Structures are given as C-alpha cells and as structure tokens.
Chain A
Amino acid sequence: QSALTQPASVSGSPGQSITISCTGTSSDVGGYNYVSWYQQHPGKVPKLMIYEVSNRPSGVSNRFSGSKSGNTASLTISGLQAEDEADYYCSSYTTSDSLAIFGGGTRLTVL
C-alpha cells in the first residue's frame, strides 16, 4: 500500500502559521478518526504531537492543532518558532496489511 501523501516541504517565518496536509483514502484517513502526527528532529526519536485527528498529548504546545476533512487530514502550527523546524509525519489506521500507515513526511523550515 502506498504511503499517505504529504508535501515534501513547507516553510514559514517566525510567528506565522503553516498547515501540512496528509491525503489518504476512505480505507484510512477518510474512514476513521485515527490520524496521528509526529515531529522528528534530525537524529532524534519521533514524538507524538496529535492523535485521533485533533487531540494533543499532555505536554504538547497548544500551537499545534489537527483537523480532518474527507480523505485529507491537516496539521496546523501557529506562532512558528525556530524549534518547530523538523520533519513531520502523519499516520493513520488502515484496513490493509499492517493496520497502520505513515505519510512520506514533510520538512518544515522556519525562515
């Protein structure tokens, strides 16, 4: 099964807001509210930022928010900070093989 579709890169200036999209199908993103988002800094372990489309784990800044419409989920980061520069991956439950699938990842650059 192909990975969920994310833009390869996005960028924004400090203080601005950016949105990263994650497009799947009705067998994954569109069919279930089990979309998660992960942040990964270079050489570091992925960190869960959003789960079940729009929920934030304890300790994650409220500058991070998630949403979904149809087969596309979105991660919005408001008030961009230099520390937000990282790779971001979406993930969804899926009815195929491994029961879970990642997006290809998006590199966020803070200008």
Chain B
Amino acid sequence: EVQLVESGGGLVQPGGSLRLSCAGSGFTFSSYWMTWVRQAPGKGLEWVANIKQDGSEKYYVGSVKGRFTISRDNAKNSLFLQMNSLRAEDTAVYYCARIPQLGRADYWGQGTLVTVSS
C-alpha cells in the first residue's frame, strides 16, 4: 500500500524557517517525480515545487522561488521542503504527493499545517 507521511509543520514567526519531511513507503520512491502542494485555509490548491526522480531537476511556483528548496533522499525514501523567509501568506496545509506524470498526483499524504504568525 502506498503511504506518504508528512511531518515538520508548526507555528513559525514571519521571516523564520521550517523544514518539512515526507516519508514514502509501499512503492519504489526513486522511480517517481514528487511534489509539494499547499492549500491555504479556505482556499484552493497550489503546486509549490516538483522534483525529478534523481533530484536533477527542480521546479517552483514563482511566489516561493529563492525562498523554498525541494530535495529528496532516495536511500531513505524521503522528500523534503526547506522553507526560509516565511511570510504570512505561506500559511497553509502542505501535502506531499507522488506524481507519475507532471500535473497528476495520484497518492497524497495527510498534510502538515504550517502557520506563519507573530
């Protein structure tokens, strides 16, 4: 059974940093692009960052470029999102998901809430 479990969310002050993790199991992690998708309270979904199977290609939505870094450790079946210079508008539930094809997320984690507030 495919499982994705996020961790690392919490309350952080504006300008602060947070690192999210996602542990994958039940599939060959290294064979898939992976992604982070976020959803602000009461709002829609937004693709945040995508990373290729071997980590050689990374893509970000414009609003997080230069502040967020996506990475992965295939040996540990893990996906990460380093978030720096956090802003109030980054407050959201962050989901990690498996993407067999860009634009298609077939398995999602339960999400982890990031709250940026003073």
Closest to B35 in A: A100
Q: Which of B12-20, B23-31, B74-82, B100-108 contacts A (4 or more CB under 8 A)?
A: B100-108
> Chain B residues with Cβ under 8 A from A103's Cβ?
44
> Chain B residues with Cβ under 8 A from A99's Cβ?
47, 50, 59, 102-103
Cβ B108 vs Cβ A46 within 8 A = yes
Choose from B95, B102, B109 the contact partner of A34 (Cβ within 8 Å). Answer: B102
Range for the number of chain B residues in contact with chain A: 20 to 34
Main secondary structure of the interface of B (DSSP, over half): strand
Interface residues as binary, A36-55 with B (CB distance below 8 Å gives 1, 0 otherwise)? 10101000011110011000
Cβ A51 vs Cβ B45 within 8 A = no
Cβ A51 vs Cβ B101 within 8 A = yes
Cβ A3 vs Cβ B104 within 8 A = no
> Chain B residues with Cβ under 8 A from A92's Cβ?
103
How far does the Cβ of A99 sit from chain B's closest Cβ, in whole Å?
5
Give A40 to B47 CA distance when docked, in angstroms. Answer: 15
Closest to A40 in B: B45
Interface residues as binary, B42-59 with A (CB distance below 8 Å gives 1, 0 otherwise)? 001111111000000001
Cβ A98 vs Cβ B49 within 8 A = yes
Cβ B104 vs Cβ A36 within 8 A = yes
User: A81-105: which residues lie under 8 A (CB-CB) from chain B?
Assistant: 89, 91-94, 97-105
Choose from B48, B101, B104, B111 the contact partner of A98 (Cβ within 8 Å). Answer: B48
How far does the Cβ of A63 sit from chain B's closest Cβ, in whole Å?
20
> Chain A residues with Cβ under 8 A from B47's Cβ?
91, 98-102
Give A101 to B106 CA distance when docked, in angstroms. Answer: 15
B66: CB under 8 A from chain A?
A: no
A57: CB under 8 A from chain B?
A: yes
Chain B positions within 8 Å of A, measured between CB atoms, are 35, 37, 44-50, 59-62, 65, 95, 99, 101-106, 108-111
Known pairs A47-B108, A98-B62, A104-B44 / 10 extra A-B pairs, C-beta < 8 Å: A36-B103, A45-B95, A91-B103, A93-B103, A97-B59, A97-B60, A98-B50, A98-B61, A99-B47, A100-B35
